[in-house]
Amino acid sequence: MELIKKDVLVIGGGLAGLVSALGLARAGLQVALIEKKAYPFHRVCGEYISNEALPYLRKLGAQISLLDPARINRFMLTSPSGKALFSKLDLGGFGLSRYTLDNHLYELAQQQEVQFFLQQSAQQIHFAHDQFTALLSSGESIQAPVAVGAFGKRSNLDRQLQRSFFRARSPYIGVKYHIKHDFPRDLIALHNFHDGYAGTSAIEDGKHCFCYLTTRENLKKHGSIPAMEQAILCRNPHLQHIFKEAEFLYLQPEVINEISFATKTCVDNHMLMCGDAAGMITPLCGNGMAMAVHSAKLLTDQVLLYFYKGRNRQKLEQQYTFAWKQQFASRLRLGRTVQHLFGGPLLSEVTVGLLKAVPPAVQLIMRQTHGKPF
């Protein structure tokens, strides 16, 4: 089968992959993107994005306001017993489903002549003679001097690349629903429960995203997701109210296993990693989507320098690594630290009580886990 040649190969069509492909194509590069699903589709995600990402999304041509996002400027945190604190969000953000946002970016990328290979996966990828060659599940091959790994939290390619974090199993699972509920549309909430936490925030069309992180052990102990929800999550009265009063819009939730917050590398086997493939902030920090967009911008800037200033691969990898670590390394460390304060009922109760008594601490954590508009 014919070998397809491009400037950049992007593996994974989530937020980081789409934003990378769109930015590179708008700058004149020939881009191919491989995605195992077909747009539009749902993803396990909190579906809240900090306003720090808005300037760059607008620069790429995204018309967020036309997608009917929920405007969010308040934060609520509850302990397992239901104790609550409230805080303003300095920068604020918006709620929009990945079903809608990713599809919008996909359509924009198509307009910029990104070539999509949908419902396909990269079975193998090799680097030789300064070129990447990917073999697709369809039998086609794509070759490019730059490859972007935007394949999310955990992928079979992580195994092929022998990435160190992949060898250790992660105990976390993620579950997401769309619901209709009388929850305020300007408020994002984080509800703690035993060995987990759940987020609720408004999205488009009068709906809310309800997404939670917990452990395989919780699920194993209770045998099914509904049984676990009733036995564990509903001990928090705020979550009990959601399960009792909300209208759940889909028969089955979206579920993802083996979510890892372990340290990753942003360059691996010469491939530039982006979004969750480079490092994932804990969901309780509420900034994963904005970080995916920002990491895609950093990557795009460095790849353009590579193509237009001599194609120095070593310099590309070093400068991208430096830019990525400078922007995100401390946020990820703080996210992992904050995560240890939640999940255990006693520690969660104490932490929420302390934060409620010292409001500036809440603002400090938010500032340290979020960036500035870019």
Query: Tens digit of pLDDT for each residue in 9-52?
Result: 999 999 999 999 999 999 999 999 999 999 999 999 999 999 99
Strand ranges for the chain from DSSP E: 3-5, 8-11, 31-35, 48-50, 70-78, 84-95, 115-118, 122-128, 131-136, 141-144, 146-149, 172-180, 187-193, 196-202, 208-215, 247-248, 254-259, 267-268, 271-273
Prediction pTM value: 0.93
- The pLDDT assigned to 351 comes to 78
Q: Return mean pLDDT, the chain.
A: 92
Predicted confidence (pLDDT) per residue in 185-218, tens digit: 999 999 999 999 999 999 999 999 999 999 999 9
**CA angle at 212 for the pair 74 and 53, rounded to the nearest 5°:** 50
Sign of CA dihedral 323, 327, 332, 334: positive
- The pLDDT assigned to 1 comes to 67
CATH numbers and ranges of domains, the chain: 3-77+92-168+260-340 (3.50.50.60)
- The pLDDT assigned to 284 comes to 60
